[in-house]
Structure 1
Amino acid sequence: MPLVIRDLGLRPYEPVWEAMKAFTAGRDRSVPDELWSVQHPPVYTQGQAGKAEHILAPGNIPVVQADRGGQVTYHGPGQLVVYLMVDLPRAGLGVRQLVNIIEQSLVSVLATEGIEAAPRPDAPGVYVDGAKIASLGLRVRRGCSFHGLALNVDMDMEPFTRINPCGFSGMSMCQVRDFSPSANLDALAMRLTDTLAVALGHDTQAVQREPDLPGVGHNPAS
């Protein structure tokens, strides 16, 4: 079964979320898995476990109540988001195994930038010297995952100070640029989706790379 990887560019959060839900609801065992790499305009998303008190001062940044796991996080330009639509039974994976694949793929890709990162057993995500560089949040419906990961690359980090990221008061956040100023988001997206593809059992030579997803909003930068 092939894997489809889509690069959506900069897209509003809610249309992409709705497209993930529609894709998952409409798929069957004959539909290939997909990875979508995307950036979002500024938005806070609150997961199913989210508590209102963790949103301290959102200001003019919208807050969206999402159906993923976890609590509140921030998305903005310069952050690499990868959504994973994976048929878990077909891939022979459980949710914990998928989380491990995501975390280890991030650790591997960050190592190529000279960044020593690691997951934490008490809090999903990937960390550098105690500061969070990547967040995870998944939802599984009918055995199929959606939502995914967010890697801070080269973004305005100030909005993280207006929340308790992932429900942790005072959590330090960091980004790739702090350690590797020349890092390129597009190159990281290619490297990370390739790494995820291999970890999910795919041959990168057989991956179908698609530039777009029809009908999912418009690129705000265009």
Structure 2
Amino acid sequence: MTGGPATPPTPRPPLGPELEVRRLGRFDYARARDLQQELVAQRAAGEVCDQLLLLEHPEVVTLGRRTPEGAADGLDLPLVEIERGGEATWHGPGQLVAYPLFLLPLGRRDLHAYLRDLEEVVLRTLADLGVEGERREGLTGVWAGGHKVCSIGVAVRRWVTWHGLALNVSNDLAGFERFRPCGLEPGVMGRVADLAEVPADDPLLEAHLERHVRGVFGHR
């Protein structure tokens, strides 16, 4: 995972006008993973337009491809080994999870730039609340108030993206305390609700995030 400039060095094409957003609410991790794989295949075949899944998971710890052996030993939570980059992280209620399933066109097939675009979406979402987010050199994700508030890990298949980002909105941070989330010290994790008032009509910031996904990636 690497940091990068705030804006891409060269103009890149928009992904396309159509985006279907699926708000799934509290949704089991295994079901979400299966759904992603189905939609990735359909998107690669041109059977559906770009998809954005917005949801929160029951408590689960996912282990990315770079997770050291034994990193999550002894946890009394469900553990799932998955295809995304990065190390172990926690998901649970109060955390907004976004899975963009986007077919990257020529001129946009740069996963480092794609990660920076996802960070930009989160930075703009935080700015809506008056919170100044930041990137950190050499680390993927978004920080605010001295803490990491958003973890990002992605995979790609036939140039269709899957997995995505997890924004800590109002979740209990205790879920991170029993291992090293993203290979970092547990105390580095923070949440938006400690930095700003979360809108009562958008408690997971789904509407804010969707708007900025459309703006950054060029969907109608």
User: Which category of TM-score, normalised to the shorter sequence, fits these structures?
Assistant: 0.7 to 0.9
Q: 2:29 aligned to 13, 25, 35, which one?
A: 13
8 Å contact from structure 1 (residues 5, 34) kept in 2? yes
Alpha-carbon distance in structure 1 between the residues aligned to 2:171 and 2:121: 21
Deviation larger for 38-47 or 98-107 = 98-107
Matched, 1:38 2:82: no
CA RMSD of aligned residues (A): 1.8
Asked if the contact 2:134–2:144 (Cα under 8 Å) also holds between the matched residues in 1, the reply is yes
Decide whether the 8 Å contact of 2:120 with 2:216 is kept in 1. Answer: no
Q: Deviations over 1:16-40 (max 9, x none)?
A: 0111012112332453101110000
Q: Which residue of 2 aligns with 1:177?
A: 193
Deviation at 1:52, TM superposition (A): 3.1
Q: Which amino acid aligns with 2:146?
A: G
Give distance in 1, aligned partners of 2:121 and 2:128: 11
The residue that corresponds to 1:47 in the other structure is 64
Query: Whose relative contact order is higher, 1 or 2, with alpha carbons under 8 Å and at least 6 apart?
Result: 1
Structure 1 residue 156 displacement after superposition: 1.0
2:195 maps to amino acid: F
For residues 92-129 of structure 1, give each alpha carbon's deviation from its aligned partner in whole angstroms, at most 9, with x where no partner exists. 34212211111011011101112111112211000114
TM-score, with structure 1 as normaliser: 0.85
Q: What CA distance in whole angstroms lies between the structure 1 residues aligned with 2:110 and 2:57?
A: 28
Q: What CA deviation, in whole Å up to 9, does each residue of 1:115-149 have, x standing for no partner? A: 11111221100011431100001000111100100
State the Cα distance separating 1:57 from its structure 2 match: 4.1
Aligned residues: 202
User: 1:87 maps to which residue?
Assistant: 103
TM-score, normalised to structure 2, is: 0.85
- Deviation of residue 47 (structure 1)? 0.4
| 1:164 alignment partner in structure 2 | 180
Q: Deviations over 1:142-167 (max 9, x none)?
A: 11100100000011110100110101
Instruction: Select between 78-87 and 163-172 the one with higher mean Cα deviation.
Output: 163-172
Letter in 2 for 1:200: F
Which residue in 1 is equivalent to 2:10?
A: none
- 1:69-88 alignment to 2 at 5 Å? 69-88=85-104
The percent of aligned pairs where both chains have the same amino acid is: 33
Stretches of structure 2 that go unaligned for 5 or more consecutive residues are: 1-16
Asked if residue 198 in structure 1 is aligned to residue 215 in structure 2, the reply is yes
Aligned-partner residue type, residue 63 of structure 1: L
